Amino acid sequence: MKKILFISLAFIAFGFTACDSKSPITSNAVSKTKINEEKPKFQSQNYSLITTDEKIISFTSTEEGLDFDEFKNKKAVIIDIFATWCPPCIESLPMLKEIKEINKDNLEIVSVLFQDPKTSEEIKEFIKQHQINYPITMGSDNQKLADELSVKKVPEMFLFSKTGKFVHKFVGKVPKEELEKYLKIAIEN
């Protein structure tokens, strides 16, 4: 039993430190779970996030939130800032997939790869492995958006209403019930 506990703890510690030599990752880079009422300060900027299948998700930041070209007045949007090396990010995948499936007509989830130097092929394999049913974006605008949202740790999620207004920020692993409560607000507004 002690051996299993030791192996489990070693694996968890490895998960917090494993990454390439370009960006040493520690447990300090992983967010603790909390709900954050603080509204990000948005500046007017244009974004073009590029998905792994080379589609572009365009939007402009406004004082109120993010004005999505494709989703405005159609779908609420969750911007999920994540990394493939982040255990809480991986643990959240089944919940996000389920919420996306249940709300497919009213919700879009856009996962934004954060400080995770993966190739497009590696992310496509990650999507396949985890059966992700929403886009993951890569590229320089990912960091630009993370900077505007003041992201320092992952995971962080930002929820926007159908009209693009900021609704709520979640830091760390989010309980499904908490996300659904705010999602209802975002979909109805």
pLDDT band at 189 (very low <50, low <70, confident <90, very high): confident
Q: What is the pLDDT of residues 144-167, one digit of tens each?
A: 999 999 998 899 999 999 999 999
Residue 86: inside a domain: yes
CATH number at residue 178: 3.40.30.10
How many CA atoms are closer than 13 Å to the CA of 66, on its beta-carbon side?
A: 30
Residue 22: inside a domain: no
Overall number of domains in the chain? 1
User: What pLDDT does residue 152 have?
Assistant: 87
Residue 29 clears pLDDT 70, i.e. is over it: no
DSSP 119-188: -HHHHHHHHHHHT--S-EEESHHHHHHHHHTT--SB-EEEEE-TT-BEEEEEESSPPHHHHHHHHHHHHH
Residue 47: inside a domain: yes
Residue 102: inside a domain: yes
* pTM, rounded to two decimals: 0.79
Residue 182: inside a domain: yes
Residue 26 clears pLDDT 50, i.e. is over it: no
Q: Output the average pLDDT for the chain.
A: 83
Q: What is the span of the domain harbouring residue 145?
A: 31-188
User: What pLDDT does residue 33 have?
Assistant: 38
pLDDT band at 44 (very low <50, low <70, confident <90, very high): confident
Residue 4: inside a domain: no
Residue 13 clears pLDDT 80, i.e. is over it: no
Residue 85: inside a domain: yes
Residue 48: inside a domain: yes
- Calculate mean pLDDT across residues 87-98: 96
Which residues are paired to 171 by β-bridges?
A: 34, 156
pLDDT band at 19 (very low <50, low <70, confident <90, very high): very low
Q: Residue 133 in contact with residue 68, Cβ under 8 Å?
A: no
